[in-house]
Structure formats: structure tokens, C-alpha cells
A = this chain, B = another copy of it.
């Protein structure tokens, strides 16, 4: 049975990526699907140095063992940073043993404050994931103008929740 891991692809505090990740995870759990959430905010602050080139922190090792290795389907939620996805996400991927990705599946969700909906972020991440032997679903929602998709209290509005549910259905068929 599928085991989903939703990756909130930024360490920005209180990010929209995290809100979307939580909504995606909640919908999967409601449907009875196994799902975990990994928030890059929780990475060791020095992971780019502590977890590269042969080093491995205890924290990262437990993430690998308990969250990443067991997952069969990754959902990357990526906001647009400088026209692509956040560098911290690729730095995180670079710190992992490539084999944790091999022969798995992925879905990509894009967020942007501007027009593009993180289109380029999704294209570039698709190429990298394909390189890591991951099959990526063609459907890559692009939530452009994300700030206009929030309610007054900052929660996601009904439209975006609806689109997340539609995409969850597609991911489950993949």
C-alpha cells in the first residue's frame, strides 16, 4: 500500500507551503491513506555542513529511517524562490543517499506570489527527480497569486482546498 510523504519545501516560518502540505496530508489521512509530513523548518540548522560528504547527524538519520525510506510516494510542495524552487530543498536532497528515492513516485505542487505558479521550479525539480529514478506525475498544480487564495485569518480558502482534493485523487491513481 502507498505510503505518502509530504515535503514542505522551505524553512520559512509559517509558510504557505506548510499550509498546503498540511491540507494535502489531512486529505490523504481522511481517505485512510498512510501519510507523513516533513517540514524543512525542522532540519538541523547546520545540516548543509553536518550531513554532507560522509557525515550524518542523528536527527537526519532518524528522518531517513522513519520518514523518507518507508515512503513510496513523495509530494513536494514548492514555492517559487528566485524563479525556481528553494535552494534548501535541493540542499536537503543532496544530503540524502540517492537510493532512498529510487523507483518511487512523486507529485509536485507549485506556489507563487506572481503569475507563473512555480512552473520553472516544477520543471527543474522534475528533471532532478527523474535523474534520481523517480516517476513524476504529469499533473503539477500551479497555485499562482497564492496570497489571494488565503482567508483573512491566513488559512487556505475553499478553492485551493478543492484543488488539493482533486490532486490527491490523481496522485492516488498514479
The answer to whether B133 touches A83 (Cβ under 8 A) is no
Is A119's CB within 8 Å of the partner chain B? Answer: yes
The answer to whether B13 touches A53 (Cβ under 8 A) is yes
Q: How far does the Cβ of A118 sit from chain B's closest Cβ, in whole Å?
A: 11
Q: Mark A80-120, 1 if CB is under 8 A from B, else 0.
A: 01111011111111100010000000000000000111011
Q: How far does the Cβ of A126 sit from chain B's closest Cβ, in whole Å?
A: 7
Report copies per complex: 4
Interface magnitude class on chain A: 35 or more
Is A137's CB within 8 Å of the partner chain B? Answer: yes
The answer to whether B128 touches A139 (Cβ under 8 A) is no
| Nearest B-chain residue to A117, judged by Cβ | B115
Interchain Cβ contacts under 8 Å between A and B, 17 examples: A45-B48, A82-B98, A83-B128, A84-B131, A87-B87, A88-B94, A91-B91, A115-B116, A115-B117, A120-B127, A124-B127, A126-B126, A126-B127, A129-B138, A131-B138, A132-B138, A133-B138
